[in-house]
Chains A and B, each alone.
Chain A
């Protein structure tokens, strides 16, 4: 791994403060800065958003505490059920929960021995390979029962889980909460979420805030398969419950999510990437879905994704999808091969939307010859067949209008390299449009096309991101030069831009390149962003 020594750190924000021509944020003084023109404009996108905008890291980090008081009152589920008057939703909901509680109580009768695992005497924590992992994630119950370990089987780590539980409860005894332990080279971070303890032991350069976000994501993934309501109830009934029984098969989702967190910028930015499509094509696809579904009541979201990118998203009026929820949906699609084989009908809880209940998702790939995945999310558990018919209609219409071909062409496209933008100084960049919670970046070119290269780049972005969003002293602009590359981060009210330059780039050239990039994005004739927020 490349060691980066920030021997030349220049905080441009402070440089600029001294410059009277340009205010701190680079606003209002276009064309006057001697070092170059840091144009300040929003791309003409962000008119409307179907995603909840995440304008800062902090707001993203502020997860709803287990229980209540989330940003949106957890009545989202009820609200969209209530969009149709005289629906017996209350009854439906009640029976649902009754069924759930009945089965859960039965669960305790189900033979304990079937999950009984052989305790392997040899503790994994002594293994050299295990110890050398850069980052460990552990999940345990507040009673100390192992739930998950990123590396190695949690069965072989019972002692370690015991230590973690002891640490948490020891500090907790004084009415305090353990948050992190920092030693030279290794940090230990704890996140306590009701009956669940999440811990991360890491040697990477990630910040506490970033790791907290990641642990929150993992927790959300658990809530997404169980609902907060069920999770809370289980541990209320049996504090000693072995949650692995209910999470069987979901470890794969957590693994996949953690890999995404380690390798993709999307979750760092709290934004999604869209499949580049000409806007008329995208609108046509959207219209096909809307016209096929608009008679179906209680359909909350229709989401079309392909290659981990968003093709389109249609929502019920007055309801929005949080990017964190969309990431969980993408994670579900990406980690579930079984969706490719058949039409699926699955409960899914979107914690930001409503952590207390399930939405029901009709999940299917468009066609054998079009590997885009359509998700139709509803509150009505009886809607499978209407949705299945709607899906057939959508595919027929898309096929007739040759839109399947357009999607396929976009999916087959390898991505735009940065060289096409005419900014030779820049090696790579990430542009996040805050209002729409979307981002775009060129396809990685040398030296970032290798796994190690990509990892180093993402590490650099993390450092930038952390410094720019540091709670104590957030920055607007940051210019970091070291021997591997020069990094520039710029946060405005409308967007965030992170750029990796050649290490020896001059500031003037860097600023020139940034302006070119922003101008290129602004043109947006590439269909990089979804600029409207269609509803049913």
Chain B
């Protein structure tokens, strides 16, 4: 894959705030506009640094409309991380998130899953009630080995942290030249491991 070193895909039902999440992270902007459906998928890239290295994260913001479900594999294929979004105040969006996770597990075993509860500000200012308790989601995400994070694209809370976490957790792409040194280190490690045992 060209264009980015690292592919992240945003999944979730329509209107949970995938586009807003991407916009907040990439452009640090938020528009409290009425919901506009994403058509197909939008791509944006952002340079991130992690563990002393600089690389480009390519983010796919997919359309949540049901008619694109059939095409979604096109967008999440080979993704290193998936941010599965649901609206903290809408129960059905969480149910749908679970289905996305099952689908991802079936098709992209190596894709790390980040479960993201969106619109935290709406819960905090009391406009809407929380639909699923924090503990329940946390328990669920632990069970599937996913990271759970709650964000607000409006206030920006935890948005950068989420993507930084993704960057920090990812396998760094094997940049040419560095590849060997990484391998060497790895093999050294395993040697010490072996000798220790």
Tell me the smallest distance from the CB of B83 to a CB of chain A, in Å: 16
Query: A427: shortest Cβ distance to chain B, in Å?
Result: 38
Known contacts A103-B72, A246-B67, A250-B67: A389-B40 contact under CB 8 Å: no
Q: How far is the CB of A91 from chain B (nearest CB, A)?
A: 15
| Proximity bits, B111-153, A CB within 8 Å = 1, else 0 | 0000000000000000000000000000000000000000000
| Set A106, A226, A346: member contacting B39, Cβ < 8 A | A346
Q: Does A342 interact with chain B (Cβ within 8 Å)?
A: yes
Selected contact of A344 from candidates B22, B43, B69, B72, CB within 8 Å = B43
Asked if B44 contacts A99 (CB within 8 A), the reply is no
Whether the pair B14, A384 counts as a contact (CB closer than 8 A) is no
Provide the bound-state CA to CA distance between A230 and B68, in Å: 12
9 A-B pairs, CB-CB below 8 angstroms?
A114-B92, A248-B37, A249-B65, A252-B37, A342-B22, A344-B42, A381-B74, A385-B1, A386-B2
Q: Kindly identify, within residues 488 to 527 of chain A, every residue whose CB is under 8 Å from any CB belonging to chain B.
A: none
Interface centre among B3, B74, B75, B95 (most CB of A within 10 A): B74
Q: For the complex, is A71 an interface residue (Cβ under 8 Å from B)?
A: no
Residues of B participating in the A interface, judged by any CB pair closer than 8 Å: 1-3, 14, 19, 22-23, 36-44, 61, 63, 65-75, 92, 95-96, 99
- Are A344 and B66 closer than 8 Å at their CB atoms? no
Choose from A100, A103, A252, A342 the contact partner of B43 (Cβ within 8 Å): A342
Q: Which residues of B contact A345 (CB under 8 A)?
A: 40-43, 75
Q: How far is the CA of A419 from the CA of B9 in the complex (A)?
A: 55
* Closest A residue to B31 using CB positions: A341
**Interface presence of A104 (CB below 8 A):** yes
> Nearest 8 CB-CB pairs, A to B?
A346-B40, A249-B37, A342-B42, A100-B70, A385-B3, A103-B70, A246-B67, A249-B65
Q: How far is the CB of A309 from chain B (nearest CB, A)?
A: 21
- Is A17 in contact with chain B by the CB < 8 A criterion? no
Q: Which of A113, A338, A386 meets B36, CB within 8 Å? A: A338
With A338-B19, A344-B42 as given contacts, are A247 and B92 in contact (CB-CB < 8 Å)?
no
Known contacts A252-B37, A342-B61; decide if A389 and B92 are in contact (CB<8 Å). no
B77 to chain A, nearest CB (A): 9
**CB-nearest residue of chain A to B90:** A114
Chain B nearest CB, measured from A60 CB (Å): 27
Provide the bound-state CA to CA distance between A102 and B96, in Å. 17
Complex alpha-carbon distance, A152 and B146, angstroms: 43
Neighbour of B65 across the interface among A102, A114, A248, CB < 8 A: A248
Chain A window 228-264, contacts with chain B (Cβ cutoff 8 Å), 1 for yes, 0 for no:
0010000000000000011111101000000000000
In Å, the complex CA distance between A225 and B39 comes to 10
Instruction: For B38, list chain A residues within 8 Å (CB).
Output: 338, 344
Q: Does A388 contact B (CB under 8 A)?
A: yes
Is A133 interfacial (CB 8 A cutoff)? no
A311 to B23 Cα, complex, angstroms: 30
New contact pairs (8) apart from A111-B95, A248-B65, A385-B2, CB-CB < 8 Å:
A247-B67, A248-B37, A338-B36, A344-B38, A345-B40, A346-B63, A347-B68, A363-B40
* B14 contacts across to A, CB distance below 8 A: 248-249
The minimal Cβ–Cβ distance linking A368 to chain B, given in whole angstroms, is: 12
A347–B71 touching, CB < 8 Å = yes
Provide the residues of chain A in CB contact with B40, threshold 8 Å.
344-347, 361, 363
Q: Is the CB–CB distance between B99 and A339 below 8 Å?
A: no
A388 B43 Cβ-Cβ under 8 A: yes
Asked whether any CB of chain B lies closer than 8 Å to the CB of A66, the reply is no
Residues of A within 8 A of B71 (CB): 99-100, 347, 358
Whether, in the assembled complex, A343 has its beta carbon less than 8 Å from a beta carbon of chain B, the answer is yes
Are B67 and A226 closer than 8 Å at their CB atoms?
A: yes
A337 interfacial contact with B, CB 8 Å: yes
Q: What residues of A have a CB within 8 angstroms of the CB of B2 in the complex?
A: 385-386, 389
Residues of A within 8 A of B1 (CB): 385
The interface bits of chain A over 86-122 (1 if a CB of B lies within 8 angstroms of the residue's CB, else 0) are 0000000000000110111011001101100000000
When chains A and B are docked, how far (Å) is the Cα of A358 from the Cα of B67? Answer: 13
A39 in the interface (beta carbon within 8 A)? no
Q: List, in ascending order, chain B residues with CB within 8 A of A343's CB.
A: 42-44
B79 to chain A, nearest CB (A): 13
